[in-house]
Structure 1
Amino acid sequence: MVTATQLQIVKSPITTLIPTISTSVTVKLDDTNYLTWNFQMQLLLEGHGLLGFVDDSWLYPSRFDEDSNVEGVETDASTIWKMHDRALMQLLIATLSSTAISYVIGCTSSHDMWVQLKDRFSTVTKARVFQMKSELQNIKKGVEPV
């Protein structure tokens, strides 16, 4: 479980990344560039200590304090986690084309968005690779195969 202390962003709070995202990520995700986008995003997120949100290596902290006498009060760690996760969702959206945004509508966490985008666009990428291999095998010079 992640503590509130572990969620502190050392050098760059997520909120300061959002305005600078356009200079950090040079492509917006669409049907043609998932591998490039994914590579850039992984470097960016890892470089700022945020990859654990999207790859699910940081577990969501306990929402309520079981030792507390007051019921229904969220823990600080849970509140901070949600704030950071929502900001990260906003950061991810800033790197998506309008088509890609339509695939993450309804996602409730940055991890959900990451998985949804991977499922959608890695399939497109695999299909494109297969298509290109097929086209390459069928290349001809005149009537002769190359």
Structure 2
Amino acid sequence: MVKANAPHLQATTSQSGRIIDDSSSPYFLQNGDHPGLVLVSHFLAGNNYNTWSRAMSMALTAKNKLVFVDGTFMRSSPEDLLYGAWIRCNSMVISWLLNAVSREIADSLMYMATAHDIWIDLRERFNQGNAPRIFQIKSLLTGLQQGSMDVSTYYTRLRTLWDELKDFQPVSVCNCGSMKDWAKYQNQDYVMQFLMGLNESYAQIRAQVLMMDPILVISKIFSLVVQEERQRSIHSDISGSSLDHSSHSSPHPSIAIVKGPSYGKYDKGRKSDLPTCSHCHYPGHTSDKCYQLHGYPPSHPKYKPKQYFCNHQ
């Protein structure tokens, strides 16, 4: 009896091995898959469940392991030759889920047997209803201002809230013209929110955008404002560099001190028009009036009176 069933058992074992080694199979584990792997950058802290759940779903889909949390692959019977593979993959997904939540939440999930149970428990505990979250998002959009943020950071925060709010909206399959009108209205709403939150220093470009007909898409408007911000940064850097250079060149930008024998201060702009001494090579005088050749006048700080010595025997 055992010998009769042996070929069938061997064939089933070979088939299960091919399933486990198939890269398209949910039972397949890559070399980089290990229990300490962190799939998402932001941990679940309670109030960020919606964004965390979406990020985690995408990460598990990329790993071909979403079926272990959505209930598609339930626990198989111990007699199934793939039972060991299911236990291994389920434990791996549990480890990834525990690595993606805060320590306090992870402690409360430690003794759950399946990844599906953990997924359902997190959704029941932290998933907010649509209406409260929509209200919260719209409140944040109303109060969001650029303030001390640069334009890119401000736009990124707006975009994050817009995308999350859009996720709550029903998806329409209508291809009529009303959908295009709705898309134009939504784009206009995005543009208005973006312009309303900008600092008053962008009032001029705001007025230019509002005069456009038809109005550009929000990504183009954002690009225009970023270019304006960069132009201001360039002008600011040039102005600052000019001030630094002039402050280190001389006590006054239009006055330079002439070193050596001269008649005082002169305008740098007229330096090329002044005569140059052939003896000391300093501008402002000629050799027939050079102090180094003829001596300094009594009013000059370097003037030294001649001393006469008398020898008496």
TM-score of the pair, normalised by structure 1:
0.67
- Per the alignment, residue 258 of structure 2 pairs with none
- Per the alignment, residue 67 of structure 1 pairs with none
Match of 2:82, SS state, is helix
TM-score of the pair, normalised by structure 2:
0.34
Is 98-107 or 52-61 further displaced after alignment? 98-107
Contact 2:36 2:95 in 1 (8 A): no
By how many angstroms is 1:58 displaced? Answer: 1.7
- Per the alignment, residue 10 of structure 1 pairs with 23
Contact 1:9 1:48 in 2 (8 A): no
Query: Partners in 1 of 2:120 and 2:46 — Cα distance?
Result: 16
Which residue of 93, 101, 106 maps to 2:106?
A: 101
Which consecutive residues of structure 2, in runs of 5 or more, have no partner in the other structure?
A: 1-14, 144-313
- Per the alignment, residue 69 of structure 1 pairs with none
**1:59 paired to 2:92:** no
In the superposition, relative to structure 1, how do residues 95 and 18 fare at CA in structure 2: closer, same or farther (>3 Å)?
farther
Counterparts of 1:56-135 in structure 2, within 5 Å, are 56-64=71-79, 75-123=80-128, 129=133, 132=136
Higher RCO structure (Cα 8 Å, ≥6 apart): 1
Percent identity over paired residues: 20
Contact 1:9 1:49 in 2 (8 A): no
Match of 1:37, SS state, is helix
Contact 1:14 1:87 in 2 (8 A): no
- After superposition, the CA RMSD in angstroms is 3.2
By how many angstroms is 1:119 displaced? Answer: 0.8
In the superposition, relative to structure 1, how do residues 39 and 9 fare at CA in structure 2: closer, same or farther (>3 Å)?
farther
Count of residue pairs brought into register by the alignment: 123
Q: Which amino acid aligns with 2:51?
A: T
